[in-house]
Chains A and B, each alone.
Chain A
Amino acid sequence: MKEEIRLMKGNEVIAHAAVRAGCDGYFGYPITPQTEIMETLMELKPWETTGMVVLQAESEVASINMLYGGAAMGKRVMTSSSSPGISLMSEGISYIAGAELPCVIVDIMRGGPGLGTIQPAQSDYFQIVKGGGHGDYHVIVLAPYSVQEMNDFVEDAFDLAFKYRTPVIILSDGIIGQMMEKVVLKAPTPRLSNAEIERRYGSWASTGSKRNGKSNVITSVNLDSLQQEEFNLHLQRKYRTIEKKEVRYQEFECDDAEYLIVAYGSSARISHKCVELARAAGIKAGLLRPITLYPFPVEPIAELSKRVKGILAVEMSMGQMVEDVRLAAEKQIKIRHYGRCGGMIPSPNEVFDALVSLTKED
């Protein structure tokens, strides 16, 4: 394998990127619209090349616990699913966060609630960014907005997961998952040997080796409340570091913007086109696209809120991320939301109309 340019679906790229990122194991369960990830892996047969394990589990509950096990032994493990499957994984995600283990979870969102629809949506922002599982925890959330970023964020996610010993979720939707774009696949990073895993993670990982006579235990239970509180405070200190160091975002045409659109993932693509339409119509519009949803780009939004006349949050939901935009804004300005839901995708001109009505308020 070497670096190469391909035309691929976002979902297919996740599979290729996992193999090339030195992933040790993928465990998953079929659910539309992300099943191409596991199908592509089964076609790639990485167990014959890199030795990567690929296993179709009996449920999302089993998949996430396979991740818990793999991560506990210091392996680079990942799963993928879509909204209802992620609901089932919530228990496991909480345990993984509580045991401070690294893993990567890809969520290709579809419309809910319930069985909902298999069409694209962004209605699980609260679930992913604000928790989902029980307990005081966060996961790092990356929101790719192109097929190339679907590729790049897989390795980034593994790096962040191990840097902070935390689950990292790549949050995307059926648009990016199902669409094809040009993508540059990077030259592969080899998987770590067991000896290297022992060297890097031997201080905590339950590899079975009981190195130097010291046994490791991975657990999230502590019946002593004082100790459990101390552990929670330790987690919080880690989250403050992540909030300080790992915020990622991108701005388009924000320098002279009078109106700001905030959107992530596929909504940011649609909103980018809306900015083009607005500029052509003489409206000074800009786009801020959060790349990390947790940690959220609070400061840049706070800064821009002092300069612009209004903010439009665009999401394929009935208004979830907009709450974080409101919390981030420092100045009392108009903050509106535009969204479609249930699998309906807003077109750039719909977003443009919403932007125009914002400019016409007061």
Chain B
Amino acid sequence: MKQEIIIAGFGGQGVLSMGKILAYSAVMQGQEVTWMPSYGPEMRGGTANVTVIISDRPISSPVIHEYDIAVVLNQQSLDKFEGKIKVGGILLYDPNGITRPSNRKDIRIYAVEAAEKAAEIGNVRVFNMIVLGALLKILPPMLSADSIRNGLRKSLPERVHATIPANEKAIETGMEIVQKQN
């Protein structure tokens, strides 16, 4: 089983750390993993994306041209990656800020109102955890709940470990509110 995932959005949305938690969870489960960021000027407020590959076998290229799953958090990212989702693959997006949703018929499309929900909770910092929850819900069953909890602990520096319960709650929220669109 191998999943090739791209997570893309604005710098500052927590795209890279979401990818890191996902990757660390896979490591906790004994999977092979690559986490490959776009970096450079893009890091400063522009678009940021990270490719995460999870596999039970050694991974050849960390650089890929098509994806099983694309998680997009702004319109630019949707425009850029919509066409690179494999037939039968998955698109997950937050409708906030999306003016032109995908009309691809050969993929499964899910939406998560993460920005809205984070504002409602009153903690915008858990936005990316809500998205992660949604992703974990629709991801084929590769990662156990324990692995995800361990991945969260491993990837967050100890000084912010106090935020772990809020993050775990947000992941659960994301799992609950994700909705299939087609």
Chain A positions within 8 Å of B, measured between CB atoms, are 5, 7, 32-33, 117-119, 174-175, 178-182, 266, 269-276, 345-350
Contacts and interface: CB of A to CB of B under 8 A. Distances in A.
B140 to A, nearest CB: 20
12 contacts: A5-B27, A7-B23, A7-B24, A7-B33, A7-B155, A178-B37, A180-B33, A180-B34, A180-B36, A269-B60, A271-B61, A349-B66
B35 A179 contact: yes
B64 A7 contact: no
Chain B interface SS verdict (over half) = mixed
User: Interface size for chain B: under 10, 10 to 19, 20 to 34, or 35 or more residues?
Assistant: 20 to 34
Contacts of B62: 175, 179, 181, 266, 269
A270 B62 CA distance: 7
Interface string B64-95: 11100000000000000000000000000000
A179 B38 CA distance: 9
Rank and list the top 4 A-B pairs by shortest CB-CB distance, nearest first: A273-B61, A180-B35, A272-B60, A347-B65
B37 A269 contact: no
B26 to A, nearest CB: 9
A269 B20 CA distance: 21
Interface centre among A275, A346, A348 (most CB of B within 10 A): A348
Nearest to B35: A180
B34 A270 contact: no
Given A181-B34, A270-B63, A345-B63, A119 B40 contact: yes
Interface string B13-49: 0000000100110010000111111011000000000
Contact of A181 (B35, B61, B64, B155): B35
Interface of B: 20, 23-24, 27, 32-37, 39-40, 60-66, 154-155
Contacts, number: 72
A73 B63 CA distance: 43
Nearest to A180: B35
Given A180-B20, A182-B27, A348 B36 contact: no
B65 A349 contact: yes
Interface centre among A5, A181, A271 (most CB of B within 10 A): A181
Contacts of B20: 7, 180
A175 B27 contact: no
Nearest to A5: B27
B172 to A, nearest CB: 23
A228 B151 CA distance: 59
A141 B27 CA distance: 30
B47 to A, nearest CB: 15
Nearest to A119: B40
Contacts of B33: 7, 180-182
A188 B63 CA distance: 32
Contacts of A345: 63
A178 B16 CA distance: 12
B64 A347 contact: yes
A350 B63 CA distance: 12
Contacts of A5: 27
A158 to B, nearest CB: 27
Contacts of B32: 181-182
Contact of A7 (B40, B65, B66, B154): B154
Interface centre among B37, B39, B61 (most CB of A within 10 A): B61
A245 B36 CA distance: 35
A276 B20 CA distance: 27
